[in-house]
Structure 1
């Protein structure tokens, strides 16, 4: 599609960005609203699963659709993705318990993976690597805008109306995006000589599902050394070996192993994996601090997180333009990961005494780093491979970032849970105090054993009003104690994110910086690429 005129390309990109915005808005609107939704539905122990199942199902479709869209074209898959996302979003709003919400979020994830994979691949179809810098920055900025307005709107909805509208409010926008893609996106012919790698797809799925389940359950539902976790890891390892063996034998592998001979492809994906772990940790757990520790309402929580997303939008747009203008990109990745790591490190020092201004400054630093680094790793992967592998390369970049987010959130959830329990059981003063107040007050105060109550300031105030005058000081003491415990646990989570991002910064140093091409064709290079030695010999 590179031969199309600029006006046609711009029209197509408007349709693609509309589809991506629909998925992104529905994803980000949940972040500040979810603590309150969980409080209504119950099941705090499954909180991370609402995120994990989305990333699990989107990871599977991301990598599978990457290869399929290389064969059949992007259009059918982006349309299918929007359709699945519409159905999943509607069903999420009908959930009666946490189990239903998790199931329907899985359907959302199937659609979301298709949309994101095909959207970024479409940029590669339309533009040369040098031009992609601008559009990748714009798309990342669009995602940032959704992160700007989504959380604020989500908080407002759960504060002022029924939570179901969190999932329904953008459904009309989804229908608009669907018809824009249907009429604006050009149809491409199926590539001849390509076959679908069913066996490889099966083994890849059997690798990812038990692996992600193991990371999600280990340390929370099961001990890390339990038979269930070891069995899941063992099954994933066997499936991975079978997957690699299959990919080396089949004609059209779903994820060609020779791509990993390209050091740019490999290192960029590993760095993207670490960035995803740090990014999702910050996005997921900041509302916990703002609502649970600071006692802020869900709607105001969205306003407080807004500066982080705004700084991310500005950084993405500016760095995208500079990348296209200068052809340089590695410096943005290095400075971005370092800046985001510094922001996460500053977040780890926050406590119950931290002011709103300090929180905003720390989040702006984190957002600037994220905006600079996020678009780069997809761009480096696309620039390093041949056009015929564009979908696979792009989807692999999305996959590694999503896997990083899934595993990172699971590990951080374990850290949060263990640290919180440790801090709450270490202090016996609250339990001793229950012996010197009326029995009715003591019974009510025992409901504060669940930190989930901190996420609903209205319910806290209602509980306090039911206590006697003698029980209210004890109530205030217990609430402060729980907020300090939650703050300490979240500090451990943010510090873990900072360490992960510093590791990403170190890894980024090893990405070989090659010039961004000004056409789709990839010239011969001394760097081993996806074409293999035989292809290079006659290029």
Structure 2
């Protein structure tokens, strides 16, 4: 599609960015609205499944969509993805039970798994590697913008309108994106002599489902050593072995294993996995510090956290343009991830006396560093393979980053909870009456520290003579949470540092000024 005029390419990119934003903002808009939705539908025990069902189906579809779009072209998967996602969003708004919402969110996940990797692969179809940096940066910024707008709009809707509009408000954007893609995106011919790898797809789906469920449930729903978690991990290992066996025999494998022979492809995906742990796993705990330790409201917390997102958005756009101008990317990846390591290390040193401006500076550093580095790795993967593998290679970067985020949330969540429990054992509860111990024990869950209304309710239920002890417990909890979060951010910094070190292994293959169908890394 490089034969298209520049104006035509830009118009197509506007349509692609619209479709990407439609998918991205619908992922984030649910976060602030979900407590209200759960209170209406019930099913608090299934709270996490609203996110888990979406994650499972989108992760599985990501690699499948990448391979199929290489065979059949990007356009049909854009259109199917937008259509499925829109249907899922509409159905979510009609949910009468939590089970229905979980099923409909799974349908949305299928749509997102089609839209997102196809969007990034389409950049590779439209532009030569030298030009892709700018557009990859802009598209990475879309996720940052959606992470700011989504929760804000979701919170406003549940406060002022029916929660169902959370899922319906952006449906017109989906319709517009569908029409634009239908009218503007060029149709490509089906690649001949390619077959669908059904067996590989099946084993890959089982592998991802088992692994993601294990990491999602471990430390929360079940103990790490429980039979359920061990069975899921065992199932994922067996399925992975069967997947490798199937791929070696498939005529057209869903994830060609020979791509991992290319150093840049392998290292970029490993780095993406590590960045997923550090970024998604570490930074989701920033609100715990802002609300649980510093005592700010959720709204105030979102405003402070927004500064990190703004840093990420600005750095992604700037870094992408820099790559396009210079054709260099390795130094930018190393520098960006190193800056994020510094930011995470500073976060690990925070205490209760930190000023808001210091915290904002640390968050900007982390966001800016990740934004600079993250732009690079989709580009290096695309530049490492031939045009015929562009879709599946691009999808692999999304998949490894997503898996890293899931693993990070589980591991760092376990570190947080374990450290909290250890620190709480030092609290002297001998003065607490037996009838109040059950109430005070609730605060060993760090999530409750984010709910200031519930804290006030519990304070109001205690007799007056218990209030000094309650205040002492609150102070002890804040100290314990601060210590636990220090460990979380420190571990995230270590993982991110490993990712930064691995960037030295990336070979800076010159960015081509034209697309080629042959493989480009020897």
With structure 2 as the length reference, what TM-score do the two structures score? 0.91
Displacement of 1:168: 4.0
Equivalent in the alignment of 2:498: 503
- The yes-or-no answer on 1:476 pairing with 2:471 is yes
Cα distance in 2 for partners of 1:165, 1:113 equals 23
User: How many angstroms does 1:469 deviate by?
Assistant: 3.9
Where structure 1 has 5 or more consecutive residues not aligned to the other structure, the ranges are 529-539
Report whether the alignment pairs 1:416 with 2:416.
Answer: yes
**C-alpha RMSD over aligned residues:** 2.8
How far apart, in 2, do the equivalents of 1:473 and 1:90 lie? Answer: 51
Distance 1:474 1:155, change over 3 A: farther
- Among 414, 432, 435, which residue is 1:434 paired with? 432
Map 1:64-463 onto structure 2 (within 5 A): 64-92=64-92, 102-157=102-157, 165-424=165-424, 426-429=425-428, 431-435=429-433, 448=443, 450-463=445-458
Q: Which residue, 468, 480, 486 being the options, matches 1:485? A: 480
CA offsets per residue over residues 451-504 of structure 1, 9 Å max, x none? 433222233334434555434434433333333333332222222211110111
**Which shifted more, 318-327 or 101-110?**
101-110
Contact 2:282/2:408 (<8 A) preserved: no
Q: Unaligned regions of 5+ residues in structure 2, if any?
A: none
**Pairwise CA distance, 1:209:** 1.3
Q: Are the structure 2 counterparts of residues 305 and 471 from structure 1 closer, same or farther at C-alpha, using a change threshold of 3 Å?
A: same
Secondary structure of the corresponding residue to residue 188 of structure 2 = coil
Q: More deviation in 396-405 or 145-154?
A: 145-154
Structure 1 residue 334 displacement after superposition: 0.6
* Partner Cα separation in structure 2 for residue 445 and residue 274 of structure 1: 37
Please tell me whether the aligned partners of residues 22 and 173 of structure 1 are also in contact (alpha carbons under 8 angstroms): yes
2:432 partner SS: helix
Following the alignment from structure 1 to structure 2, what is the Cα–Cα distance between the partners of residues 171 and 472? Answer: 50
Distance 1:468 1:521 in 2: 75
Separation in structure 2 between the aligned mates of residue 181 and residue 195 of structure 1, nearest angstrom: 26
**What is the aligned partner in structure 2 of residue 536 from structure 1?**
none
- Partners of 1:400 and 1:278 in 2: how far apart? 13
Superposed displacement of residue 322, structure 1: 0.9
Find out whether 1:512 has 2:477 as its counterpart: no
CA contact (8 A) 2:387 2:516 kept: yes
Q: Distance in 2 between matches of 1:361 and 1:215?
A: 32
Q: How far 1:155 moved relative to its partner?
A: 4.5
Q: Which residue of 2 aligns with 1:532?
A: none
* 1:426-455: CA deviation from partner (whole Å, max 9, x where unpaired): 1333x334329xx6x777656545543322
- Give the CA deviation at 1:402: 1.1
